[in-house]
Amino acid sequence: MIGLQNIDAKWQQKWRDAKLFEANPNGRPKFYLTVAYPYVSGPMHIGHGRTYTVPDVVARYKRMRGFNVLFPMAYHFTGTPIVGAAKRVVRREQEFVRVLTQRYGISEKELGKFEDPHYFANYFAKKSDLSYRKGMEWLGYSIDWRREFTTVDPHYSKFITWQYHKLQNAGLIVKGKHPVKWCPGCGNPVTDHDLLEGEGAEISEFTLLKYRMDGYVLPAATLRPETVFGVTNIWLNPDARYVVADVDGEKWIVSEQAVEKLRLQGYKIGMVEPISIDFSKEVVVPLTHKRVPILPASFVDPNNATGVVGSVPSHAPYDYVALLELQRRPELAVRYGVKREAIIGLKPISLIEVEGLGESPAIEVVNRMGIEHQSDPKLEDATAEVYRTEFAKGMIRPWVERYGGMPVSQAKLAVREDMIRNGEAATMYEFSTIPVTCRCGTKVMVKVVEDQWFLNYADEGWKTKARECLKRMHLVPPETRAQFEHTIDWLHEWPCARSVGLGTPAPWDPKWIIESLSDSTIYMAYYTISHLLKTIDPEKLSDEVFDYIFHGKGDPNEISSSTGIESGKLEQMRQEFEYWYPMDYRMSANELISNHLTFHIFHHALLFPDRCPRGIVSFGMAVLEGQKMSSSKGNIIAINEAVREHGADTVRLYLMSVAEPWQDLD
């Protein structure tokens, strides 16, 4: 492949010498596209190659059609991912060090330098053969490298400060009490970009039903408090470790793992001591006050919520299968000290009527799917089907006192409110999927924070602006429109600041740092002037400078006099922005629709209402042997290896030929 590499290098050098891809306003029709700048917590790999080759193909095509094309690139240093990676080096985590040294070829002698987050980031951004800059050059991308920047550059920080002053003035930055994803190791809220695993996990609000026994409370977490009338027993995992914890003055029996979760969510935790579970005991059900047995079940995950589960076999497939298994295998009852008569007489109780489904929807679905044991993966699908159908179409049966005849969606709220008011229930937050792990290697939990700063995406006026912006946009593929609409609807308060990490200090309190998904919403506008800003002392970049560039406010001569920036340069930056904006297409991963891509619509709708992006293209992800490629885990094919072996054209053609860009690529 040496011959191909020489040919690649020859023509790439000619392009650089001719400044072929340096785009300037020239009166011709323009085409401006951007793609998400990369987090540089590891090398550029084939997955990134697909992401960045697609816009390059579009850019080259548009140039051949006569357009003046701008295709820029930068690097995302902000937040905790790079800090977390550097901490893993400091701790000399064996697996991570192995990835760096054996997989990426970093010498033991050089390893100490990677304890510095800035060195770590620059190495993989532009200082090595594994870097994004080198990989993009080897693949022949038609990028205007004059506009390159990082999100910790002082000029960029001034731009972010301007943006957050605007958000502050609009009343969209609020301080409050909200549940957030929390890394105890970093001491910070985290978002999907900070995670090694658990991306996309949402925070769900559970109701803790307080089952009582001999002065103890066994709090069972549920998303369906209305099913309390169908409880036949509660489940505990016989192989898990349970403790008695003093929680707000009550003695709670929970899994060992639940104690810290409750503490992080504002419960006052006192003495904690281990307890052995007696499966011959009964508990009193809240609201109905009937007595039901405690039974063993292996499906109960002690890492999930409290490790205590209420059993509603008619309406919960896991419960029905576990009960059936226990009734069919008497040796299990003997092993755990369960009284045989306690399980033989248990019968599912039907309390929700759904047109088209039988007396007990969970039983009907389990039988249809042929599920026979608790470890059957089809139980997840069965559960989702039953819960979804009952919530949408279910009615509480008439025999249920006070709530009979109510739609399930109404009864859920009414039962929950009544039990909380009576002291028979409480609230707990948990992830929709577990585990969730920070890039620093720490298990992430849900924390209720009281002094956190948030972007108020719940503001209905802001949502309206975002919806109007979305209506005018061309989306590829078109079916993503429903995802964007859904995300705009459910987005609420988003933690926008951290106490540690790389990035721009919050203008209202410098001890906070603007987090990574909150400082990357309108940087597409920054690209239009980034090459000119580099020639200016960043200390001269006041809000009035950006107000003039982006909104045409003020007189350039007066601003020049007050800041010391040449009026001609101010006018040139204003012209660049007006020429290139609005951006024609934003390209990014479809997994970012639920955060970054929708945030980018919100912020453009507020700050550039007349210059909203014209379109968004959402890509599928690249997977290797069934798993998403991850530089942190080392399951990648690095770009430098691929190009060295096959040449740039072969790699590009392969990436473009095996799947549509919006499909996942294996």
Run of H or E including 83? helix 81-90
pLDDT at 635 > cutoff 90: no
The predicted pLDDT at position 590 comes to 83
Q: Does residue 44 belong to any structural domain of this protein?
A: yes
Which H or E element spans position 179? strand 173-183
Residue 58 in domain: yes
Q: Which domain holds residue 603?
A: 2-171+459-534+582-657
Same-domain pairing of 219 and 345:
yes
Please tell me the distance from the alpha carbon of residue 552 to that of residue 522, in angstroms, as a whole number. 17
Residue 135 inside a domain? The answer is yes
Based on the domain organization, do 530 and 609 belong to the same domain? yes
| CATH number, domain containing residue 20 | 3.40.50.620
Tell me: pLDDT of 626 over 70: no
CATH number at residue 304: 3.90.740.10
Q: What is the pLDDT of residue 178?
A: 79
Q: Are strands 493-495 and 627-628 parallel, antiparallel or unpaired?
A: unpaired
Cα gap 412→406, rounded to integer Å: 9
Pairing mode, strands 203-213 and 216-222: antiparallel
Kindly report which listed range (188-202, 283-297, 383-397, 432-446) carries the lowest average pLDDT score. Answer: 188-202
598: in domain: yes
The model's pLDDT over 139-191, given as tens digits with 9 standing for 90+, comes to 999 999 999 999 999 999 999 999 999 999 999 999 988 788 898 988 888 87
Measured distance CA(385)–CA(402) in Å, rounded? 27
Q: What's the confidence (pLDDT) of residue 419?
A: 96
Per-residue confidence (pLDDT) for residue 627, from 0 to 100 = 59
Q: Which residues contact 577 (CB under 8 A, 6 or more apart)?
A: 525, 528, 529, 549, 550
Establish if 111 belongs to a structural domain.
Answer: yes
Dihedral, CA of residue 417, residue 423, residue 425 and residue 429, to nearest 10: 90
In the block, tokens 């946009």 appear at: 473
Q: Check whether residue 156 and residue 294 sit in a common domain.
A: no
DSSP letter for 622, please: B
Q: How many domains does the chain have?
A: 2
Cα(534)–Cα(520) distance, rounded to whole angstroms? 19
The most confident of 63-77, 496-510, 642-656, by mean pLDDT: 63-77
- C-alpha 418: how far from its chain's center? 33
Q: Which of the listed ranges 27-36, 93-102, 338-347 does the model predict with the highest average pLDDT? A: 27-36
The full length of the chain comes to: 666
Q: Could you report the per-residue pLDDT of 378-406, keeping only the tens digit for each?
A: 999 999 999 889 988 899 999 999 999 99
Instruction: Tell me the C-alpha distance between 352 and 488, whole Å.
Output: 32
- Domain assignment of residue 527, yes or no: yes
**pLDDT computed for residue 633 by the predictor:** 54
Max mean pLDDT among 267-276, 384-393, 428-437 falls in: 267-276
Please provide residue 597's backbone torsions phi and psi, each rounded to the nearest 5 degrees. -65, -35
- Which pTM does this prediction carry? 0.75
Same domain, 353 and 465: no
The first and second tokens of residue 527, run together, are 């690209």
Is 12 contained in some domain?
A: yes
| Buried/exposed code over 593-628 (b: 16+ C-beta within 10 A; e: otherwise) | bbbbbbbbbbbbbbbbeebbbebbbbbbbbebeeee
In sequence order, the 6+-apart residues with CB closer than 8 A to the CB of 568 are none
What would the mean pLDDT of 315-344 be, rounded to a whole number? 88
Cβ-proximal residues to 129 (8 Å cutoff; 6+ apart), any chain: 640
**Is 70 exceeded by the pLDDT of residue 624?**
no
Residues 6+ away with beta carbon under 8 Å from 133: 125, 126, 145, 148
Cβ within 8 Å of residue 171, ≥6 positions away: 456, 459
